[in-house]
Amino acid sequence: MSSKSDIFLGLDIFKDFYTEEIDIISEYFSIHKFFDLQVLMPQKSKDTAFGVILDGEVSIMDDHLDNQSRIPGDFLGETALLQSTPRKADYVAASDGAIAIMTFDDIDKLKQKNPHLAVKLIHIAAQSGLQHIFKNGLIQQQESLVLMADLNQVSDLVSLIFKNQEIISRFCLLTSPILGEIIQSEIQQKIHIINPYLLVGGSNTIGSKIILGNVKALINLKDPFAAPSNSGSLEAILRLCHLYQVLVALNLATTQLILKSLV
C-alpha cells in the first residue's frame, strides 16, 4: 500500500471504497503543497482538474457568498464535473497545506481501465458539488430540454424541432454531439447546445440539472421495434424525471403535446 493510499483511507469521503479500490484511484492523483494566500483556482477560468484537500484550508473568495472555506477531506473544483461554466470565485489558500489533484484526462484514463471505479469516484464528487450548489444557491436560471432519439427517429425529431424552433430556442438543449450538430445546422435561431456526455460527469450532468430544477422536459424518441438498451444511466435519469415531475416524451405524439405546453 502506498503512502497516498494511507492518506486517502483516513478521509471520510472515501469510506465506501475498499482498500484495493483506494490503491488504484490513488495512483491517478498527484499531491501538491500549497502556501498561505496562494491562488489555487482563479475566477473565470475553466477547470481541467478537481482535488481533495489533505491538509490546510482553502477560502472561496466571492462577495455573493458567506465566508466559505474547504478543509481536509473536502473536494475542490468538483462542480466542474456537472457543468462547463467558468468558475465564479477565486479559491485562495487560507493556510499552508496540501491537495491531491486528479486531472480530467486522468479520469478518462481511469474510465478506460476501471470504469466502475471511475463512476464511483465521479458520483461522490458530483454529490459534493450538488450540495455546494444547493447551499450557495448557485442554480443556473436558464431552463433546459433534454433531447435524445434512436437512430431511425432522429429525422422525425429534427423535423419537429424545426417546426417549433421559436419555442426550442428559448431553452438550453442537452443532447448528443451528432444530434446537436444536426439541430444547429437546421435551426435558424441562435441556440445554446451542450453535450453532457463530453463533460466529465457524463449523465450525472443531466441528473444534476433535473435535481436543481433546470430541466423542463426530456424527449427521448424510441424505436418500438428496437431491442432494449439496458442503459442504467438512462433508467436513473427517467427515475429522476418521475421524482421531480419533469415532462417526459417517448414518442412523437407526446413530444408535440409537450412542445405545445411550452408556448
Cα–Cα distance measured from residue 244 to residue 168, given in angstroms and rounded to the nearest whole number: 21
Domain boundary pick from 67, 101, 136: 136
Provide the grid cell at 14: 472515501
CA distance 111 to 109: 5
pLDDT at residue 82 above 70?
no
Number of domains the chain contains: 2
Q: Is pLDDT of 135 > 80?
A: no
Do 39 and 80 lie in one domain? The reply is: yes
Residue 72's domain comprises 3-136
- Neighbour count for residue 243 (Cβ, 10 Å): 10
Q: How do residues 59-73 score in pLDDT, each as one tens digit?
A: 887 645 555 788 999
87 in the same domain as 36: yes
Predicted confidence (pLDDT) per residue in 85-119, tens digit: 667 778 889 999 999 999 888 988 888 888 788 87
Q: Which residue has the higher pLDDT, 80 or 143?
A: 143
Q: Which residue has the higher pLDDT, 139 or 237?
A: 237
Place of cell 500549497: 34
Choice between 145 and 228, residue whose per-residue pLDDT is larger: 145
* Predicted pLDDT at 30: 93
CATH number for the domain spanning 49: value is 2.60.120.10
| Strands lying side by side in the sheet with 75-76 | 30-34, 97-103, 49-55, 75-76
Say yes or no: 89 and 131 in one domain.
Answer: yes
Nine cell digits for residue 150: 434512436
Amino acid at 239: R
- Amino acid identity of residue 127, one-letter, is Q
Neighbours of 192 (CB within 10 A): 11
Q: In percent, how much of the chain has pLDDT > 90?
A: 20
Average pLDDT over residues 205-216: 80
Domain match, 8 and 25 both: yes
What is the chain's mean pLDDT, rounded? 81
Round to the nearest angstrom and report the end-to-end CA distance of the chain: 59
Is-contact 83 15, C-beta < 8 A?
no
Q: For residues 120 and 111, is the Cβ–Cβ distance under 8 A? A: no
